[in-house]
Structure 1
Amino acid sequence: MRRLGHALAGLAALVCVLLSLALLGIVVPRAADRDFPPAGTATGRTAVYLAANPIHTDILLPATPEMLARFGFLARDGLPLDHPDLATIVVGWGGRAFYTQTPTWADLTMDAVWRSVTLDRSVLHVSLGGRVSEEQPGLLRLDLSDAAFAALVGFVEESFEPGADGTPRVLPGAAYGAFDRFYEARGRFNLLLGCNTWTAAALRAAGLPTGLWSPLPPSLLWGLRLHAPVATSS
């Protein structure tokens, strides 16, 4: 019983430490990589969105002609960029095993969990989306100047691991359906530096300060609202 008590006390202490770190990760700011003028009529303005579920965030880019040209490799890999309902390009970064093997929680395996807890290769998931409804739960709008938006897109593009021809390398046979693909990505994944910390880094590249550490969607979103209220006010 004494050993059990010590184990429970140790577990409780660990939980308290993690909760304290998570709280500090929200309230302590992490500066943007560079400053951009606020979005407005003088500098141009582009709306992008963050889509969050309980464990993951995606960045929704507008499917403008310019973006479709820059992501033209998606058509090469079988995605219908001429679809009449296409309005957004949805991008997320994550661990290869967990991301590619777990389209639903019912598909979760111990291998995917173990690789996420330790260290895994990373992938980028790119999918085609329709029009955005701002009433959708878990959706946050960010208003960026044209320069900030260009920096965000540049960060996303630099996250792809290119093949011999210089274009992103698709993972053959890895997709959830007809409107998405997985690509090799730069960087390694684990639970402490995972998908949401990548999203936070992308936003800092676009001139938005975040919380110091954003391991989960709530910590990322709360940190943005605290440290970048102008961009998240609409």
Structure 2
Amino acid sequence: MKRYLKFIFYPILTFIAIILIYLLSAYALSRITVDAEPNTSQDVGIYILTNGVHTDIVVPIKSNQIDWSKEIKYSNTVLKDTVMNYLAMGWGDKGFYLETPEWADLKFRVAFNAAFALGNTAIHATFYNKMTENESCKKIMISKKQYTRLIDYIDGSFQKDDNGHVINIKTSANYGGFDAFYEANGSYSMFHTCNTWANNGLKRSGQKAALWTAFDTGIFLKY
């Protein structure tokens, strides 16, 4: 009997130890700050936005550098409303995005695939008319050069067709009337989450960020 208990006890103990190490590492590394680039101009206003779990990067739809609506089309949303000024984009696990509208809908298969990089990824794009700064929405002023790097980072996260265009995912799993989903590059995992993607975007564009984070708190504690 003791032998059988060992076969059950040790794997469970190992699993708990791995989870604790992961959480402790996530806490410690997210508290280490990567400083913003010094002495840069403040030309473009972007935002970081969280729903309490997931971080989006929000950019102006149109600027002298890019018109996002040429690829992220209003017509791909339910309401097709063109009176919009901002575009929020977040990267994540495709199965989680499309099959889990609420936490109560989360399936073990979806969670397992997401945690261990077994699924595909998608970008969730949402149009906004205006942004309201609060604890869940922070404005960051960046230079044009930094915005160019952020554009390249976000654009490179989209999967493209043979003609170089982003690929809209046809689905009825929209969260509202102003959003759409697109095929993305990369693999989601417990080590590279939606918040890791957003944090890396901030680092790429020379903004204050966490050394590494899996959770949105690692980002928002810096702002």
TM-score (norm 2): 0.82
SS of aligned partner of 1:23: helix
Task: Name the structure 2 match of 1:62.
Answer: 60
Matches within 5 A, 1:123-162: 123-135=122-134, 137-162=135-160
Residue 181 (1) aligns with residue 180 (2): yes
In 1: Cα distance, 2:67 partner to 2:128 partner: 16
In 2: Cα distance, 1:7 partner to 1:111 partner: 21
Task: Name the structure 2 match of 1:21.
Answer: 25
Q: CA deviation at 1:134?
A: 1.1
Q: CA deviation at 1:154?
A: 1.7
- C-alpha change, 1:115 and 1:100, in structure 2 (3 Å) is same
Paired residues of 2:31 and 2:218 also in contact (CA < 8 A):
no
Q: RMSD between aligned alpha carbons?
A: 2.8
Task: Name the structure 2 match of 1:38.
Answer: 40
Q: CA deviation at 1:110?
A: 2.2
In 2: Cα distance, 1:16 partner to 1:178 partner: 40
SS of aligned partner of 1:188: coil
Paired residues of 1:97 and 1:111 also in contact (CA < 8 A):
no
Give CA-to-partner distance per residue, 1:182-227, whole Å, 9 cap, x none: 11111011122111111111111101242222100001222xx2xx
Paired residues of 2:99 and 2:173 also in contact (CA < 8 A):
no
Paired residues of 2:76 and 2:168 also in contact (CA < 8 A):
no
Task: Name the structure 1 match of 2:168.
Answer: 170
Q: CA deviation at 1:112?
A: 1.4
TM-score (norm 1): 0.79
- C-alpha change, 1:76 and 1:11, in structure 2 (3 Å) is closer
- C-alpha change, 1:185 and 1:17, in structure 2 (3 Å) is same
Residue 195 (1) aligns with residue 199 (2): no
| Aligned residue pairs, count | 216
Paired residues of 1:36 and 1:148 also in contact (CA < 8 A):
no
Q: 2:21 is aligned with what amino acid?
A: V
Percent of matched pairs sharing the same residue = 22
- C-alpha change, 1:81 and 1:149, in structure 2 (3 Å) is farther
- C-alpha change, 1:154 and 1:127, in structure 2 (3 Å) is same
- C-alpha change, 1:205 and 1:68, in structure 2 (3 Å) is closer
